[in-house]
Amino acid sequence: MVVVVAGVGGSGGPVVVDGDREDYSATEQLEFIVLSQRTGDPKYQQKMDELACFAPGMIALGASGYGPDDSQKFLSLAEELAWTCYNFYQSTPTKLAGENYFFHSGQDMSVGTSWNILRPETVESLFYLWRLTGNKTYQEWGWNIFEAFEKNSHVESGYVGLKDVHTGVKDNMMQSFFLAETLKYFYLLYSPSSVIPLNEWVFNTEAHPLKIVTRNSEGESFRLSDKRNKPIVKSRGRKEGRFVDD
């Protein structure tokens, strides 16, 4: 599967945005920007999974590695994708997203697989965009999603998914990642930027924060906050299984 960026408007056909192009101005003329799937067929499948909603945060983080002009283009793309993901939630009666969505020219997006299992990806991206832009809109979107979880998924012993986001019928299961990821990103979305600052920590795909370290020319690791550059780890001899003497 090859993932491409495509735009779907209210009329006309899909517009594919080439990742190598300099101009993303087409986003201004489109209703939604989506990550579509290509499975070898010449045509793009206008389908996007909620699982792909980690991408806005990823793209926003990566934007900092470019010059000002390119950085703004990638950040704008991330914000457009986040808008699409937020509308996955807002487009259903329960205000909770289905598992995936289909897009058709001249029509509203439609739910494909209609369950919701408390996934974290959209909230994750809202957290990153809030931290990177300071735009409170992302906190507002996050709060709307949280309230939808409270209304539809909160039960006496925890939170459960929905079998169908249209009817609100519950599946009576709480996935472990709801605690490990979804609620963690909700917490961080409303925490000061000093809580797990992004210039000192990186989150892996399961939302575990890992301390960023730098390395000297000899491969020793140092903490960013250690002004004396004191090594925190010594290399081990490969065969001896012991610490190498200084």
In the chain, how long is the greatest CA-to-CA distance? 70
Q: Active-site residue among 28, 31, 79, 99? A: 99
Cβ atoms of 88 and 97 within 8 Å: the answer is: yes
Please report which residue ranges of 153-204 form alpha helices under DSSP H.
Answer: 176-177, 183-189
Residues 163 and 94: their CA atoms lie apart, in Å, by: 12
Cβ atoms of 118 and 149 within 8 Å: the answer is: yes
Q: How far is CA 229 from CA 35, 62, 218, 224, in A?
A: 43, 27, 13, 8
Q: Is 99 a catalytic residue?
A: yes
Residues 63 and 60: their CA atoms lie apart, in Å, by: 5
Cβ atoms of 16 and 2 within 8 Å: the answer is: no
**Among 205, 158, 200, which Cα is nearest to 178's?**
158
Q: Which residues are catalytic?
A: 99
